Amino acid sequence: MERSEFLLESELNDIKAKFVKGGWVDIFRNGNTYSGGVFCYLIKSDHLSKHLETNEKAIWKGSEGRPSVSTYTLPNGEITRYSAFNDEHIEPFLYCKHFPEERYIDVSEEFVNYFKLYENGTSKQERKYYFLDDSYDKEEVIVITPEVVRVKLKFLKEYIAVRRMDFIVCFDFMAIGDVPLKDWDIKLKEEDYSNDWHNYKHCINVSFGSTEIQSWITGKLTIKHDPRMSLKTWYDSDYQYEEFIIGHDDESGEEILVACNSEDHKFFVPVFFKKGVLNKYYNDPDKYKVSGFGLSCNAFSVKIDNNNDEYVVVFLNDLQSLPYKEQLYWKHYNIAREPGMGISSSYYNTMIQGNWADKSGSIDIRFKQEYERFNKRWFQKFGWYFYKPASGSDISIFKALHLPTDNSIISFCNQMLAIVKFTIDSLNEEVLVKDLPKVDNEKGIAKFERFIKEKGLEIPDMISFLRHLQDLRSGFIAHKFSESSRSVKRAKKFFGMDTSSYREVASDIFIKSLWTINALTKYFLETPEEEF
């Protein structure tokens, strides 16, 4: 045992810090053979001064103040009263539950209900509580393990403020052993330390019935509530509305910024954003749904015009439906309108005129629309799917499939891997060649080519595109790149990768993939079956 360990210096530092570290407070520690650890409870503020006159604890683990029923004799007879807690000034915050089957710690339901916390974990012993903001983003508030319970300080401070109560952290630490007092220059002592926020004692003496020396710290401290916070709660804060660029001033040339709740600009004022604003939502397809006409999740929904390849448009007042945090995020991508920019015809006809939906002008949205429509029609006509339907995590990957919003090679590779997955890799190979002679080691594109030739069709441009796309995926994206690979060189030349940006190449691949769908639709779904 080291001198600092015996003197409990680490624990004394924790006490000075009120057990706060990195914005979290330790409100429970399990302790060890000698130490009781840490526990906590709430106390009414008008009782705090008297409570701090001693270092005794009002509540400790396993004695959290059970409800009581008391009978009083009054002049007009006896009366029985129920009290939620033994001491009207003290309220438990944690409950140590001990059962023959298991032991675990519960948190005050009042605290959980106040913040509407979401509980999740692997067991009662290991779990967490989360706060969900108005975007349904999760923030950890409480972490429970068998050894430690921590609570985020800002949530605790708000809770005790609105309750107008203070928070007590009580502690009991001990180190014991055959220590060289003289060599360490340590003297036996029993000292009390108290002020307006703590009261504890530190004893160093001979352990009872032993020759070992013990160092013992026991007492309590308080985290006081701030009266100024008592009127401000998480659920009734004033809602804010961000300003967005709606154009330029004709005289100064400065950008015009208008709040999205403006009463003077409430009808069809378009606001433009870089396409990259949607990356956050595409990257989390299990939470967000992005279409040509809207963005939605469990927390919010907003109408958007996502039918242009270069930008996204939202009417100014529609931005009100975004939580303020999301408004700030969107503002980062806000751009001024340039000549030639505007609302797409598909959005105008559908969302404003109320007509049946036009086909999207955005190539990625259009491709996904036609892909699903084609596969459904194929099944209706032939009784089997041309492309194997997505399942499991592939469903989310399909939802997130989009034209890269920038010229990043990472974005390019991710999206091209996805488009190959749903075209070449999803070909229903077994059914395509079910009635054809077997060919050993035949790959998917070759099976597809034999299938269409069997139907009397020759579509060399389509086969060439698919083979080059497969080579691009195999040698440039999915596996280690090799400059000496002839197939990769041919694929790069086919897609113009030496002269075009990654985004331009991706757009070309989407266009050719859409053309593949349209060509198959024309040849197989819009032609009587007996003609091929």
Domain end, chosen from 206, 229, 252, is at 229
C-alpha 307/C-alpha 11 separation (Å) is 61
Residue 234 banded pLDDT, cuts 50, 70, 90: confident
Instruction: Kindly state the average pLDDT of the residues 60-83.
Output: 77
Tell whether 75 and 206 lie within a shared domain: yes
**Whether residue 105 sits in one domain with residue 176:** yes
Does 132 map to a domain? yes
DSSP run (H or E) holding 369: helix 363-382
**Do 321 and 380 fall into the same domain?**
no
Question: How many other CB atoms sit within 10 Å of the CB of residue 476?
Answer: 23
pLDDT score, position 355: 76
Residue 529 φ/ψ region, left for φ over 0, alpha for ψ in the -120 to 50 degree band, beta for the rest: alpha
Q: pLDDT at residue 181 above 60?
A: yes
Q: Is residue 71 a part of any domain in this protein? A: yes
pLDDT tens readout for residues 370-419: 999 999 999 999 999 999 999 999 999 999 999 999 899 999 999 999 99
Sheet strands (E) in 145-228: 148-152, 165-177, 189-194, 198-206, 213-223
pLDDT band of residue 226 (cuts 50, 70, 90) is very high
Q: Taking the alpha carbons of 480, 485, 489, 494 in that order, is the dihedral positive or negative?
A: negative
* C-alpha torsion 135→137→141→143, nearest 10: 160
- 221 and 261, same domain (yes or no): no
If pLDDT is split at 50, 70 and 90, which confidence band does 27 have? Answer: very high
Mean confidence (pLDDT) of the chain? 91
> Within a 13 Å sphere around the CA of 393, how many CA atoms are in the beta-carbon half?
4
Q: Are 400 and 291 in contact (CB under 8 A)?
A: no
- CA dist 139 and 137 (Å) reads 7
Same domain, 30 and 158: yes
Q: Residue 64: which pLDDT band, with cuts at 50, 70 and 90?
A: confident
Residue 235 lies in a domain: no
Q: Tell me: do 328 and 419 sit in the same domain.
A: no
- Whether 236 is in a domain gets the answer no
If asked whether residues 196 and 125 sit together in one domain, one would say: yes
Domain edge (last residue) among 194, 229, 264: 229
Ramachandran area for residue 19 (φ above 0: left; ψ -120 to 50: alpha; else beta) = left
Higher pLDDT, 303 or 346: 303
What local confidence, expressed as pLDDT, does residue 487 receive? 86
Which residue is it, tokens 């032939």?
A: 382
SS3 assignment, position 339: coil
How far is it, in rounded angstroms, from Cα 63 to Cα 312?
A: 60
Q: What is the tally of structural domains in the chain?
A: 3
Is residue 110 within a helix (H) or strand (E), and if so which, with residue range? Answer: helix 109-115
Predicted TM-score (pTM) of this structure: 0.76
In angstroms, the CA 117 to CA 152 distance is 13
Residues 29, 71: one domain?
yes
CB atoms within 10 A of CB 268: 12
Q: Please tell me whether residues 348 and 367 are part of one structural domain.
A: no
CA-based max dimension of the chain: 107
Residue 481 pLDDT exceeds 60: no
Instruction: From 195, 229, 263, give the residue that closes a domain.
Output: 229
88-to-31, 39, 67, 157, 254 alpha-carbon distances in Å: 28, 19, 11, 21, 63
User: Considering the chain, what percentage of its residues have pLDDT values greater than 90?
Assistant: 72
Q: Is residue 285 part of a domain?
A: yes
Looking at the structure, tell me whether residues 200 and 341 fall in a common domain: no
Residues for the chain: how many in total? Answer: 532
Query: What is the DSSP code (8-state) at residue 355?
Result: P
Domain that holds residue 128: 3-229
Question: Is position 234 within any domain?
Answer: no
Residue 465 falls within a domain, yes or no? Answer: yes
Q: Are residues 201 and 62 in the same domain?
A: yes
* Residue 98, domain member (yes or no): yes
Helix H segments across 257-335? Answer: 279-282, 324-331
Asked whether residue 454 falls in the same domain as residue 522, the answer is yes
